[in-house]
Structure formats: structure tokens, C-alpha cells
Amino acid sequence: MKTLKTIVLSSLVALAMGSFSSVAMAEASEGRIAYSPGDAIDMVLGEIKKAQAAITEGKSADDVYKIIKQGMDYSKEVNANDVVDRARAKANDILKKSRTAAKNGDLKTAAEFLPPAAKAFEDLKPLI
């Protein structure tokens, strides 16, 4: 009887955890748009191109900073697996250097980091 009671109790606990877990409910809510990793990479690359164009056009460092920040926000959607996540983190570090330079008003340095960041994000596509 004691064994049966333990089995039933543990089964109920497991059932309750499975039915109310956040992983089981991990779908995009109404206010959130979820992107596939490939689409997110394309969006990051688009923001990098926008930032390069903004620097070429002579826009302010604050505008370039905002564009790069948007690209970094898009990069959070790239979450296919652990290998991709490590590579994304490395690519994101390069983009952070560009963002920091833009934040400090150094657009020349920011422009130097954008092409390697674009290459790093391009290299993520085959890993997906």
C-alpha cells in the first residue's frame, strides 16, 4: 500500500508539472511575434546594412546606435540549438563593439566593426 501511494503521488506531481510547465506553454502570445532563426538572421543583416548606409549618409551617432540596437534585439530570436547560440553570441560581441563605438560617437570605429559582424551573422545560416 505504501509503495502504491508513493507511485500515485509521484505520478500526480509529474502530471501537474507537465501540464503547467512554462515549456509546455511556450508559444508566441498575442502581443509577441516569433521569427524563425533564418528570418531573424536576415533581419539582423538588414539592420547592419541600414547602419552602414546611415554612417555613409552622415546621420548622427544616436541614429546609428538605435539601428544597431534594433539589430541586436533581432539577434535574440536566433535560437536554433547550442552550436548556433554560441556562434550567435560571438557575432553579437562584434556587433556590441560597433554599438558601443556608436554610443560613444565614434562612427569610424563603428563602421569598422559592421562588416565582420555581417560576416559572422552570415556564417550562422549554414549552422541552422
Residue 15 has pLDDT above 80, yes or no: no
Characterize 63-73 residue by residue with b for buried, 16 or more Cβ atoms within 10 angstroms of its Cβ, and e for exposed: ebbbbbbbbbe
- Return the amino acid letter for 93: D
For 72, the grid coordinates are 541586436
In the predicted model, is pLDDT for residue 23 greater than 80? Answer: no
Domain boundaries, the chain: 35-127
pLDDT in tens, 84-94: 889 999 999 99
- Percent of the chain scoring above 70 in pLDDT: 88
Give the predicted TM-score (pTM) of the model: 0.72
Q: What is the rounded CA–CA span in Å between residue 84 and residue 90? A: 10
- Per DSSP, 101 falls in state H
CATH architecture for the domain at 35-127:
Up-down Bundle (1.20)
Least confident of 19-23, 95-99, 121-125: 19-23
Residue carrying C-alpha cell 553570441: 89
